[in-house]
Amino acid sequence: MDAAKYIGAGLAAIGMGAAAIGVGTIFGNFLTGALRNPSAADGQFGRAFIGAALAEGLGIFAFLVAILLLFVK
């Protein structure tokens, strides 16, 4: 039974890494677009932060699921 908890928590922790990859992709694409069209960068900067916040929220949710699987009986 304990092994299943650890496997489930490890699988849930993959979501934290995926969130980090998502944030990197968001800001990498924003930077690419800003370098191509600097005049439009200011209008899209807020949207990049909203996307990063949503991706980080999913990473925090994955962390919460992993902690709950480990410590809740």
How do residues 54-63 score in pLDDT, each as one tens digit? 999 999 999 9
Longest Cα–Cα distance in the chain: 57
Domains of the chain: residue spans and CATH: 2-71 (1.20.20.10)
The pTM of this model reads 0.78
Helix-helix angle 2-36:41-71, to 10 degrees: 180
pLDDT of residue 1: 77
pLDDT of residue 57: 93
Q: What is the 3-state secondary structure (H, E, C) of 21-45?
A: HHHHHHHHHHHHHHHHCHHHHHHHH
* Rounded Cα–Cα distance for residues 9 and 13 (Å): 6
Query: For 20-42, how does the pLDDT look when each residue is reduced to its tens digit (9 = 90+)?
Result: 999 999 999 999 999 999 999 99
Q: In this prediction, what percent of the chain has a pLDDT beyond 70?
A: 100
Reported confidence tier of residue 73, pLDDT bands at 50, 70, 90: confident
